[in-house]
Amino acid sequence: MSKFMKKYRVNEIKTSTNLLINLFFIIVSVTCIAPVLLVIAISVTSEQSIRQYGYQFIPSEFSTEAYDYLLRAGDAIWRAYGVSIFVTIVGTILSLAVITLYAYPLSRSSFKYRYQFSFFAFFTMIFGGGLVPWYIVYTQLVPIKNSIWIMIVPYLMNTWYMMIMRTFYKTTVPESIIESARIDGAGEFRTYFTIVLPLCKAGLATVGLFCTLGYWNDFWLPMVFVNNAKNFNIQYLMYQTLIAVQNLLNNSNQISNMTEILANLPSESLRMAIAVISIGPIVLAYPFFQKYFVKGLTIGAVKG
């Protein structure tokens, strides 16, 4: 080890270059983190001080009124938070089931139709019908528009994650293990649940985290399908909040029938407080995300 280090020392960059690169990445890091810190700072600034000095990194007057309001009267916000939690948990479990089950037969070389079914999934990445037919399918053929399920069903199958999972099965489960289980008299399902899945925990974690992030951060499905305020998720509620304040600030906008809603609008700091609580779970799960994302990315890069 020390020998290697020594060798490496010889091949290191110059001290000045090293300093320069460090300086550059300090600036990059500040650029990445500063807007998030600003939003957190605004959420704990008093309305008075926002009106006077605008948004500041260090609040002129500290205040927790936004969070007090959240605890006291934030029903709609907590409801949306609950919708997001439900959609994320149920959605992740279901889509993990759909994706991993679909990927497994495709990883088996003894399955004759694996190429056909791979193509069946893959073709959807090349061609799609566009927004309108998709919208009409969920409003008229499978009418789950406005229900909570519309935020889960369209993302249940994901070809990209499915391909990652297929590669995972192929590289971690040797066909000979499956074959010997079969000879020992285990059925396909038993082999799958007792032998294959336990070997692929890391793959499950990777795909599961991809799904979790996708569901938690989704605003697209409620934006297209949900009109019913009861089923807004936290992202879409935030979108609505930003638009509503926009309308309040310049009354010239056409949407004037929203006056009732505007009357009990949350304050400046409250809006940012919602953003903060929506980022919360992601920051908590960040170490896991990072670990498994890198793993998933490396596997995804190896084409199966």
Partner 1 sequence: MDLAVSSAKTIKTSKKKGFFYQLRHQWPLFLMLLPGVVILIINNYIPMFGVIIAFKRYRFHGTFWKSLVKSEWVGFKNFEFFMKTPYAWQMTRNTLLYNFTFIILGLIIPVACAIALTEIRNKRLSKIYQSVAFLPYFLSWIVVSYLAYSMLSIENGFINKSILAPLGIAPVEWYSEPKYWPFILVFFQLWKYTGYNIVVYIAAITGIDPEYYEAAAIDGASKWQQIKHITIPSLQTLMIILTLLAVGRIFNADFGLFYNVPRNSGTLQPATQVIDTYVYNALRNTNDIGMSSAAGTYQAVVGCLTVLTANLIVRKIDKESALF
Contacts (CB under 8 A) with partner 1, residues 214-273: 216-220, 223-224, 235-236, 238-239, 242-243, 246, 249, 268, 271-272
Q: Shortest approach of partner 1 to residue 201 CB, angstroms?
A: 19
Tokens at 74, concatenated? 């934030």
198 lies in the site for partner 1, by CB under 8 A: no
Tokens at 286, concatenated? 């960040």
What whole-number distance in Å separates Cα of residue 202 and Cα of residue 206?
Answer: 6
Number of residues located near partner 1, criterion CB under 8 A: 106
Single out the residue of 132, 185, 198, 263 in contact with partner 1 (rule: CB under 8 A). Answer: 132
Instruction: Determine the residue type at 89.
Output: I
Question: Would you give the distance in Å from CA 63 to the centre of its chain?
Answer: 31
- Which is closer to partner 1, CB of 89 or CB of 243? 243
What whole-number distance in Å separates Cα of residue 275 and Cα of residue 283?
Answer: 12
70 φ, ψ to 5°?
A: -55, -45
85 lies in the site for partner 1, by CB under 8 A: no
Stretch that binds partner 1, among 69-77, 85-93, 138-146, 256-264 (CB under 8 A): 138-146
Q: Shortest approach of partner 1 to residue 56 CB, angstroms?
A: 6
Alpha-carbon dihedral sign for residues 61, 67, 73, 74:
positive
Q: Shortest approach of partner 1 to residue 250 CB, angstroms?
A: 9
Alpha-carbon dihedral sign for residues 262, 263, 266, 267:
positive
Residue with tokens 């795909």: 207
Of 108, 80, 115, 69, nearest to 265 by C-alpha is 69
The 43-72 site mask, x for binding partner 1 (CB under 8 A), equals -------xx-xxxxx---------------
193 lies in the site for partner 1, by CB under 8 A: no
284 lies in the site for partner 1, by CB under 8 A: no
Q: Residues near 130 by Cβ (< 8 Å), separated by ≥ 6?
A: none
Q: Shortest approach of partner 1 to residue 210 CB, angstroms?
A: 11
Q: Shortest approach of partner 1 to residue 15 CB, angstroms?
A: 8
Single out the residue of 120, 177, 194, 229 in contact with partner 1 (rule: CB under 8 A). Answer: 120
Single out the residue of 60, 179, 193, 288 in contact with partner 1 (rule: CB under 8 A). Answer: 179
Question: Would you give the distance in Å from CA 282 to the centre of its chain?
Answer: 8
